[in-house]
């Protein structure tokens, strides 16, 4: 059974750290432990919900193991000093946005009702770095991979059942406690199975050697039958050709010339967006779904805007997002991949994280519009997939094109 992170946090902080937390929240010292449990329970619920997708689980693994992951000793030092704890709030706020996404305001409101003095949001900002550091320490000590961390998180549910209010599940759009992080059990790397003794050494009974005659004569009969069948087919073709009228040289040239395929033709690579039209997301996607021949790598760019260097969406009511939700409702078998792209002019790890967060934000908006989670994947591509650049295009224009959120059709049936 997984180690109880609630008890682990309390033992690491000790009475002094818990008292500092209570004082920072303007609570009596005796209320510190319950506030700590509440904060950790809320954060773990958010992480379990975040990890319901493979990309989300991978993001959490990077969060607790990356170069910017908080060190446990530093976090414990903060909890012993009220001023240092206050100074850590901005970083906690930024990470809070990453874990809860667009639902952070709803979650904060629920937390505020659970903590006296309306300090729920403040509590989450303080506790989140602690949980992240504790998870990072577990990964390091036990040499966990993504799958191991997923198992550890799912093991925390047994300690959280009486600490997660229904209002929090509602804020996370989770239908019941048992569904919290349920998808985690199918994610991660499959562990190699130990080979069975029988598979390695057999059952002890030796098989009889295969004789030459047992396979040669049946094979010879098959070859003879195939040869006879081929001769009959050739004779039939010759008789059919004799019955057909003679074709002139011009007729033969016409019949042998390549013909245009019936229906829509796939767009030329590198010019697909120009053929479809760069600014008509809805009509382009609808035309694509109606066509017979579809390029599986075709991108449809959403007209959405983010605050530079962040995943804060500046136009959450973008018409293209509404159009995509409407098209997916009209086509119940349609599944799509949301891909985030950035310019490629800085820290590659940071850019990949931002592109992932932006793709997650768009996916979250689609989920809020009623689209099933298993129909949408979100992937941060970083700067690994730039768009083709024309000869006359300036570098700055190219970078603007590369900063995009694209939609790619995965399945239609």
- Domains of the chain (ranges, CATH numbers): 5-186 (no CATH), 272-386+396-411 (3.30.1330.60)
Q: Helix or strand or coil: residue 100?
A: helix
pLDDT in the model for residue 117: 66
25, 31, 37, 38 alpha-carbon torsion, rounded to 10°: -60
pLDDT in the model for residue 303: 92
pLDDT in the model for residue 79: 84
Digitized pLDDT (tens) for each residue of the chain, 413 residues in all: 568 999 999 999 999 889 988 888 888 989 999 999 999 999 999 999 888 776 778 788 888 887 678 888 888 888 888 888 888 887 767 788 888 888 888 999 999 888 876 678 889 988 999 999 999 999 988 888 887 888 899 899 889 989 999 999 999 988 899 888 877 754 443 443 333 333 333 444 444 555 555 666 676 777 777 777 777 666 666 555 555 544 444 444 434 444 333 333 333 434 344 344 445 899 999 999 988 778 888 899 999 999 988 888 898 888 999 999 999 999 999 999 999 998 877 677 788 888 888 998 999 899 989 999 889 988 888 888 887 766 545 555 556 678 899 999 988 87
pTM: 0.53
pLDDT in the model for residue 196: 36
In angstroms, rounded to a whole number, what is the distance separating the alpha carbons of residues 382 and 340?
A: 7
pLDDT in the model for residue 380: 85
In angstroms, rounded to a whole number, what is the distance separating the alpha carbons of residues 118 and 111?
A: 8
Matching residue, tokens 């009209």:
330
The neighbour count for residue 97, using CB atoms within 10 Å, is 15
The neighbour count for residue 327, using CB atoms within 10 Å, is 17
In angstroms, rounded to a whole number, what is the distance separating the alpha carbons of residues 208 and 200?
A: 19
Q: Which residues contact 296 (CB under 8 A, 6 or more apart)?
A: 408, 409
């Amino acid at each position: 059974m997984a180690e109880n992170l609630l008890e682990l946090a309390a033992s690491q902080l000790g009475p002094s750290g818990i008292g500092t937390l209570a004082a920072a929240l303007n609570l009596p010292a005796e209320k510190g432990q319950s506030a700590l449990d509440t904060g950790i329970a809320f954060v773990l619920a958010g992480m379990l919900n975040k990890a319901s997708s493979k990309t989300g689980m991978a993001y959490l693994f990077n969060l607790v193991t990356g170069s910017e992951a908080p060190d446990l000793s530093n976090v414990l030092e903060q909890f012993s000093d009220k001023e240092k704890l206050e100074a850590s709030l901005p970083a906690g706020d930024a990470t809070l946005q990453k874990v809860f996404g667009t639902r952070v305001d709803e979650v904060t409101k629920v937390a505020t009702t659970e903590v006296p003095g309306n300090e729920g949001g403040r509590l989450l900002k303080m506790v989140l770095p602690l949980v992240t550091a504790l998870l990072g320490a577990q990964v390091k000590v036990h040499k966990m991979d993504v799958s191991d961390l997923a198992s550890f998180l799912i093991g925390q549910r047994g300690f959280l059942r009486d600490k997660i209010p229904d209002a929090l599940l509602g804020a996370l759009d989770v239908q019941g406690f048992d569904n919290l992080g349920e998808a985690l059990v199918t994610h991660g790397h499959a562990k190699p199975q130990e080979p069975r003794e029988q598979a390695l050494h057999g059952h002890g009974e030796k098989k009889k050697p295969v004789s030459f005659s047992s396979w040669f004569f049946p094979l010879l009969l098959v070859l003879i039958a195939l040869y006879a069948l081929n001769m009959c087919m050739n004779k039939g073709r010759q008789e059919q050709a004799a019955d057909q009228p003679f074709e002139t040289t011009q007729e033969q040239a016409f019949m042998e010339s390549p013909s245009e395929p019936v229906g829509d033709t796939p767009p030329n690579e590198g010019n697909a967006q120009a053929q479809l039209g760069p600014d008509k997301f809805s009509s382009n996607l609808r035309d694509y779904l109606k066509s017979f021949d579809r390029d599986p790598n075709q991108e449809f760019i959403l007209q959405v805007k983010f605050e530079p260097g962040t995943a804060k969406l500046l136009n959450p009511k973008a018409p293209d997002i509404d159009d995509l939700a409407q098209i997916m409702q009209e086509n119940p078998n349609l599944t799509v991949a949301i891909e985030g792209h950035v310019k490629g002019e800085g820290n590659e790890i940071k850019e990949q994280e931002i592109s992932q967060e932006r793709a997650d934000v768009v996916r979250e908006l689609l989920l809020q519009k009623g689209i099933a989670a298993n129909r949408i994947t979100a992937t941060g591509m970083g700067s690994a997939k730039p768009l083709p650049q024309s000869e006359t295009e300036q570098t700055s224009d190219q970078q603007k094109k590369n900063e995009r959120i694209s939609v790619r059709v995965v399945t239609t049936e």
